[in-house]
Amino acid sequence: MTVFIGILAFFLILSVLVMVHELGHFTCAKLMGVRVEEFGLGFPPRVKGWRRGGTLYSLNALPLGGFVRMVGENGEQDAPDSFGSHPAWQRFIILVAGPTMNILLAVAIFFFIFLHGMPRQLNTVTKVVAGSPAAHAGLMAGDTIVAIDGVHVHYRDDLGTQVDKHIGEVVAVQVQRRSDRVTAMVLARSHPPRNQGSFGIELGKMTTMHYSPIQSAGQAVGVVGTMVSTIPQIFGHLLSSNHNNGVVGPIGIARVTTDTVSQEPQNGPSTLLALMALLSANLGVLNLLPFPALDGGRIVFVAVSAVRRRNLDPQVEGAIHAIGMAVLLLFILLISYNDILHWLTGGNT
């Protein structure tokens, strides 16, 4: 039952994120006078469609995405209300509106979480794994980690962010041990054993933090900003020789969602909301990558057409985006295959 609810939650979350993303494109296109032929949730085959104001609103069978189909989206200038006939700055705004909406949604979700109470795990060590870097460095149960390489850390997410910056390095870890401050040099392992972190410690002691509206806004912007700044590390993982690099596809995300739903009675809905915010921020930033078929790829074409003072050949641009979409779908299939193997073998995503 939990698996079913988790998968349902995954599709609901994905639908909301895609709807918000496409609403950004749709709204700005309408404001700029670009005719939208279809606003679809999911990918064809089409299940149901409604036509309003010259736009077909469709519900499609494959619930893994969505789209806004504009007239002249490959640079065609046949009609005055086509995307290709509008100035480069207007096309840029239309394209960037979708990713921006996803990032703003992530900020809004975290604002709500911080305002109504954010469960956060304190950096108090409850267990040190024998033979781990932490054990070799002399860390002990009961220690509270207060700084990593001189940067103060208050909660587990702060600690994780700082440790991730020093993977493969020996870092200075300052801990509070009863009334004393102790500094230990700990190796941040790049490939720790399963179910162990880089240091080889377990943390405990959850606390619920409440913030004022101004504090919540600042915390939300800071968290999303950290997420956005660390997303490019994905590509370092992709280029690494480690095949278990944490990059997951739809199936892996569905599994994470299922695990989060199963933990909700203990952790509350804020964990699931935080996952939703993380996915939204990822969707926004990854869509800005300069790859064909993504918003970032289309922005590159708009920039090139602005420099050339004329659009590229629409057929050539359309073919490039089609190839890019095929490559993306193949990439998703390969990652999904890896996700299935990890799921069946009990590995971590």
Report cis status (omega within 30 of 0) of the bond before 45: yes
For residue 241, the model assigns a pLDDT of 44
What phi-psi label fits residue 254: left (phi over 0), alpha (psi between -120 and 50 degrees) or beta? alpha
For residue 209, the model assigns a pLDDT of 78
What residue has token string 């020996």? Answer: 170
pLDDT exceeding 90 applies to what percent of the chain? 34
Q: Which pLDDT band holds residue 289 (cuts at 50, 70, 90)? A: confident
Per residue in 120-173, pLDDT tens? 788 899 999 999 999 999 999 999 999 999 899 988 888 888 888 888 899 999
Least confident of 88-92, 269-273, 342-346: 342-346
For residue 348, the model assigns a pLDDT of 42
Cα(301)–Cα(314) distance, rounded to whole angstroms? 11
Per residue in 43-57, pLDDT tens? 888 999 999 988 999
8 A C-beta contact, residue 17 and residue 105 = yes
For residue 205, the model assigns a pLDDT of 76
Cα(177)–Cα(71) distance, rounded to whole angstroms? 65
Question: For residue 245, is pLDDT > 50?
Answer: no
Q: 155: which strand partners?
A: 122
pLDDT exceeding 70 applies to what percent of the chain? 84
**CATH code that applies to domain 122-209:** 2.30.42.10
Question: For residue 299, is pLDDT > 90?
Answer: yes
For residue 229, the model assigns a pLDDT of 75
For residue 135, the model assigns a pLDDT of 93
- Per-residue tokens: 309: 């003072």
b/e for 270-279, b at 16 or more Cβ within 10 A? Answer: bbbbbbbbbb
Task: Tell me what the mean pLDDT of segment 309-326 comes to.
Answer: 86
Mean pLDDT of the chain: 83
Angle, vertex CA 291, rays to CA 42 and CA 306, nearest 5? 110
Instruction: Give 182 or 331, the one with higher predicted confidence.
Output: 182
Domain boundaries, the chain: 2-114+279-345, 122-209
Cα(343)–Cα(247) distance, rounded to whole angstroms? 14
8 A C-beta contact, residue 66 and residue 41 = yes
Angle, vertex CA 123, rays to CA 120 and CA 126, nearest 5? 110
Taking the model in full, what pTM does it have? 0.72
Per residue in 176-224, pLDDT tens? 998 899 999 999 998 888 778 899 998 887 777 788 899 999 989 988 8
Instruction: Give 267 or 65, the one with higher predicted confidence.
Output: 65
Residues marked active site are found at 22
Q: Which pLDDT band holds residue 264 (cuts at 50, 70, 90)? A: low
Task: Tell me what the mean pLDDT of segment 9-15 comes to.
Answer: 82
- Per-residue tokens: 136: 């070799």
Per residue in 92-129, pLDDT tens? 999 999 999 999 999 999 999 888 877 778 889 999 99
**Residue type at 95?**
L
What phi-psi label fits residue 195: left (phi over 0), alpha (psi between -120 and 50 degrees) or beta? left
What residue has token string 């998968």? Answer: 7
**Interacting residues of 207 by C-beta distance below 8 A, sequence separation 6+:** 119, 120, 121, 122
What residue has token string 């299940």? Answer: 47
For residue 138, the model assigns a pLDDT of 93
Question: For residue 255, is pLDDT > 50?
Answer: yes
